[in-house]
Structures are given as C-alpha cells and as structure tokens.
C-alpha cells in the first residue's frame, strides 16, 4: 500500500516497554515497504528526546504502565515535534484515559489485545491528518455523558443537520473503526467518494474530525448504537 512517494517513506518511532509487544509492532511495520522505523525507545524520556531529534511522521506509544500520563506526555512531544502524529496502544477500554488522550492531541488509539491488525490502516489514516480510534474505545466513550458534553463543536445549532442514508452508513462504519478503503469496499463506493463524503459532512456541520461526527450522530439519535452493534 502506498502512503507517500517512494522516495519519501513514512518514518515511525516506536516507544515500548514490552519486548514481545515491541517485536510484534516491529514485525508488522517491517512488512511494509513504505514505512521506515527510525528507532525504538523503552520509556517516555527516550520518546520525548528522540521524537524531538528525528521528527518522525508517527510516534507509536506502547508504554504500560506509564510514568507520564498521555495527556501530559503528548503536549510535551508536540512541543518538540509539532507535526508528529501520536498513536497509542492501551491495555484496556477505559474511556477516561482515551478522552484525555484525544483532547491532548492523540491521532490514534488502539487496544493492544485486539487491534494489532488495525495498525497499518490506522497509520494510513493518521498520516493524512485523520483520526483512528478503536471501535470499542469509541463505544465506551459514548457511554459517558461527560465526553459528549465536553466535546467541542457539538452545539445545539448543529441539531438541524440531517444525514442521508449513505452518510449514515459511512458513519456507522466509522464507529466500527474501518478505514476509508474498507468502508468503500463494504458499501460498494470508491475510496475517493468516502473521503469526499466525510469531508463534506465536516464542512456542513463544522465538526472538527471523524470522532466528533460519530459522537454527534450517536448522541443525537441520528444513528442508534443498537443498529451499529447489529451490523456486520
């Protein structure tokens, strides 16, 4: 899969305390010709220093238990390398930490025990400015009123917006964590049509990103969680 021009591969720095997990991540990334692993660090300090030195396109954080919480760590990383997209692996579906990480500037959140196969699609999305959040994490976040109330741009004035059947289908697949390419295949559209549809929804509603679209649609009853859970 092509991410950027061949002469400019996507650079990735890994920060992981667990040798087995680090090896699994390394092996997955090494299988892709368009990805370049620039280094491996074992702790938050190493991640901060090396990210500032190397300015990688993506920093993968798999540090459990953390010495520095993600909502404190990510802003420090972005001060040294503002353009680096941060992707975090979690051991649990705890929505509290996920919400804090998103607000702090994380571009991707994955569950280590079930999302390793989503690593490459996640990178594909976040290097193009998107967000990739594991479906179980999203569903847990949506159970908390605190997340919905504190999500920016989910204002009452947006309640007048109506999504078409096609848009609802796209959003339902976003909830499940599918990439644009996967959604296009599932709905029998081109990948370009999916990207354009999501961009059009953001422009029309003034919602900032895909996660806010999902939260808005579910919290306002445009899509029911029961329907999403029943779909293949």
Domain harbouring 48, CATH code: 3.40.50.2300
Q: Biggest alpha carbon distance in the chain?
A: 51
Distance in angstroms (rounded) separating the CA atoms of residues 126 and 177: 13
What pLDDT digit, counting tens, does each position of 22-77 carry?
999 999 999 998 999 999 998 888 999 999 999 999 999 987 767 778 888 999 99
DSSP assignments along 188-223, one per residue: T--HHHHHHHHHHHHHHH---SHHHHHHHHHHTTSS
Q: Are residues 18 and 123 in the same domain?
A: yes
Q: Are residues 104 and 165 in the same domain?
A: no
Select from 79, 101, 134 the last residue of a domain: 134
Q: How many domains does the chain have?
A: 2
Q: What is the mean pLDDT of residues 13-18?
A: 90
Select from 101, 134, 167 the last residue of a domain: 134
Bridge partners, residue 15, by sequence = 41, 61
Domain assignment present for 221: yes
Q: Are residues 25 and 123 in the same domain?
A: yes
Given a contact cutoff of 8 angstroms between Cβ atoms, the answer to whether 93 and 107 are in contact is: no
Percent of the chain with pLDDT over 90: 33
Domain assignment present for 144: no
Domain assignment present for 145: no
Which band of pLDDT confidence, cut at 50, 70 and 90, is reported for residue 18? confident
Q: Are residues 109 and 211 in the same domain?
A: no
Q: Are residues 122 and 20 in the same domain?
A: yes
Select from 134, 164, 193 the last residue of a domain: 134
> 20 vs 226, which has greater pLDDT?
20
Domain assignment present for 74: yes
Kindly tell me if the per-residue pLDDT of 145 is higher than 50: no
């Amino acid at each position: 899969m092509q991410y950027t021009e061949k002469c400019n591969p996507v650079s990735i720095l890994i920060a992981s305390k667990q040798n087995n997990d680090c090896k699994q991540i390394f092996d997955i990334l090494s299988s892709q010709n368009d990805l370049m692993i620039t280094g491996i660090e074992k702790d938050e300090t190493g991640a901060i220093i090396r990210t500032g030195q190397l300015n990688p396109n993506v920093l993968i954080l798999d540090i459990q238990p953390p010495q520095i919480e993600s909502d404190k760590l990510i802003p420090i990383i972005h001060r040294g390398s503002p353009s680096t997209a941060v992707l975090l692996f979690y051991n649990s579906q705890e929505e509290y930490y996920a919400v804090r990480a998103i607000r702090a500037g994380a571009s991707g959140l994955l569950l280590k025990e079930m999302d390793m196969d989503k690593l490459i699609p996640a990178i594909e999305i976040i290097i193009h400015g998107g967000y990739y959040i594991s479906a179980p994490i999203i569903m847990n976040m949506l159970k908390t009123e605190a997340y919905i109330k504190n999500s920016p741009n989910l204002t009452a004035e947006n309640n007048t917006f109506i999504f078409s059947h096609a848009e609802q289908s796209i959003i339902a697949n976003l909830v499940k964590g599918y990439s644009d390419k996967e959604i296009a295949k599932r709905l029998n559209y081109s990948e370009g049509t999916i990207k354009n549809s999501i961009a059009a929804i953001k422009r029309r509603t003034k919602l900032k990103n895909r996660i806010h679209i999902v939260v808005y649609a579910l919290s306002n009853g445009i899509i029911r969680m029961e329907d999403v859970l029943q779909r293949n």
